[in-house]
A = this chain, B = another copy of it.
């Protein structure tokens, strides 16, 4: 029973405050013999970093991971893999204990709960904690690459405030060979012809101290079959826990039709031939079809913090993309291992 541990078999233990000495993760349950891909780890950390695109938060974080254990001669040992990232600015001049609580933020809630809290930049409720998740997710991907060759996870911003991906653009993403690289080339990870227009919109929001909600869409191509454990660890149930543990999330929609599912007729819904309406999950278990879902996000909460004006994220969705991918990788790695226990022989 630990609130900082995620996963049943392939587990991560996350630690670190946003302005403490370091953030880190201990990955436990990763089998021995996985090829450790340092480049993948660094790439995912760089992708997570705020400011990778002009329009998102320019806070400087150069995250250099140090592997402390669990890897030897390029392979995992089956022992815990501890990875550390130092915080560069521990002194936290920007924050003080007398600062007023930020609207929509967790500071006052934590103070009430624990009595003693770290008021520096949100402490552990800060988005910086996701460094641990992204590192854990990177190792999950290394395992999945070896165990499930063709699996590919990618997410994108499907809506940012008034800007939304069109049905046509979505089809191209799902049906053709869209990839993480393709998505990352777009402003705010919004793979649309409207991306340049969005850029101007977001820059203005930043200057004005405005922020917006949004949606992130996720697709997993080459999904393994038979993932998910009835009845409380269905794949959709574990994905929901994983994704709604991310800050600022406000909802989850499974499958391509979830937005309209409440009004759907069964005779039409279940007769669809592409089956994307199930999102790759039936009875809580993966069918082998593409996994499809969307995560809803609230507008960034720190916008009213005067000290951060002009430096805040006008929308959290672009930054959340690598975190959504990481949490999904962790859930899949967990269930790929769990599936090994299904049958007696």
Q: Which residues of A contact B (CB under 8 A)?
A: 1-6, 8-9, 11, 13-17, 20-24, 26, 28-29, 31-34, 66-70, 72-73, 75-82, 84, 103-107, 109-110, 112-118, 123-125, 129, 143, 146-147, 159, 161-162, 164, 209-215, 225-226, 229-234, 236-245, 247, 249-255, 257-258, 261-267, 269-271, 277-278, 282-285, 287, 296-301, 303-304, 337-345
Contact = CB atoms under 8 A, between A and B. Distances in A.
Contact of A343 (B115, B263, B283): B115
A49 to B, nearest CB: 19
A344 B146 contact: yes
A162 B263 contact: yes
A111 B272 CA distance: 23
Contact of A4 (B2, B22, B79, B211): B79
Nearest to A255: B250
Contact of A341 (B117, B233, B255, B337): B337
B106 A284 contact: yes
Contact of A31 (B16, B124, B262, B342): B342
Given A106-B283, A231-B4, A270-B301, A68 B213 contact: no
16 contacts: A1-B29, A15-B68, A22-B68, A32-B116, A32-B117, A34-B344, A79-B124, A106-B284, A109-B283, A112-B225, A161-B264, A213-B263, A240-B241, A250-B254, A264-B299, A270-B299
A323 to B, nearest CB: 12
A15 B79 contact: yes
Nearest to A214: B262
Contacts of A234: 244-245
Contact of A265 (B11, B109, B212): B212
Stoichiometry, as copies per complex, reads 4
Q: Which of A22, A34, A254, A344 lies at the interface centre, i.e. has the most chain B CB atoms within 10 A of its CB?
A: A344
A345 B33 contact: yes
Contacts of A215: 262
Q: Which of A3, A28, A70 lies at the interface centre, i.e. has the most chain B CB atoms within 10 A of its CB?
A: A3
B26 A261 contact: no
Contacts of A147: 344-345
B32 A115 contact: yes
Given A69-B16, A72-B17, A298 B1 contact: no
A11 B2 contact: yes
Contacts of A282: 104-106, 109
Contact of A114 (B32, B106, B261): B32
B252 A244 contact: yes
A228 to B, nearest CB: 8
Contacts of A76: 116, 344
A301 B284 CA distance: 13
A89 to B, nearest CB: 15
Q: Which of A112, A231, A232 lies at the interface centre, i.e. has the most chain B CB atoms within 10 A of its CB?
A: A231
A142 B73 CA distance: 38
A292 to B, nearest CB: 11
A345 B146 contact: yes
